[in-house]
Homo-oligomer: A and B are copies of this chain.
Amino acid sequence: MKIDSSFKFGIIGGGQLARMSALQAFRYGIQVGAVTSPSRNDPMEQVTPHVFRGQMSDYNTLEALANWADVITLENEFLDGELLQKVRSETGTPIYPTASSFKKIENKRIEKETFRAAGIPVTSFMVIQEPDDLKKAGADFGWPYILKSSKGGYDGYGNATVRNMEEAAKAFSKLGGTSGREIIAEERIAFTRELAVLVARNHLGTVVYPCVETIQEDHICKTVIAPARIPKALREQACELALAATEAIDGIGLFAFEFFLTADNEILLNESAPRPHNSGHYTIEACETSQFENHVRCVIGLPPKAVSMRKPFAVMVNLLGKRNAPAVLESSSDLRHLEDLHIHVYGKSESRIGRKMGHVTVLGRDVEECLTMAQKADSTILL
Contacts and interface: CB of A to CB of B under 8 A. Distances in A.
Contacts of A310: 310
Q: Size range of the interface on A? A: 35 or more
Contacts of A288: 339-340
Nearest to A207: B336
Contact of A358 (B29, B341, B349): B29
A205 B332 CA distance: 12
A31 interface: yes
B29 A345 contact: yes
How often does this chain occur in the complex, in copies?
Answer: 2
Nearest to A332: B204
A157 interface: no
B347 A301 contact: no
Interface stretch (A69-77, A117-125, A220-228, A321-329): A321-329
A47 interface: yes
B348 A5 contact: yes
B326 A5 contact: yes
A208 to B, nearest CB: 15
Contacts of A19: 26
7 interchain residue pairs of minimum CB distance: A29-B345, A303-B336, A29-B347, A3-B329, A4-B326, A49-B49, A4-B328
A382 to B, nearest CB: 9
A248 interface: no
Given A300-B331, A310-B310, 9 more contacts: A4-B328, A5-B347, A23-B23, A26-B347, A29-B327, A302-B331, A303-B335, A306-B339, A306-B340
A46 interface: yes
A5 B327 CA distance: 7
A6 B328 CA distance: 10
Contacts of A328: 2-4
5 contacts: A1-B331, A29-B329, A288-B340, A302-B331, A303-B335
A45 interface: yes
B4 A327 contact: yes
Interface of A: 1-6, 19, 23, 26-32, 45-49, 51, 204-205, 288, 300-306, 310, 326-329, 331, 335-336, 339-341, 343-349, 357-358
Nearest to A32: B46
A329 B303 CA distance: 12
A336 B206 CA distance: 11
Contacts of A300: 331
A329 B9 CA distance: 14
A231 B349 CA distance: 50
Contact of A47 (B26, B51, B326, B327): B26
Nearest to A45: B49
Contacts of A45: 49
Nearest to A2: B328
A26 B2 contact: no
Contacts of A304: 336
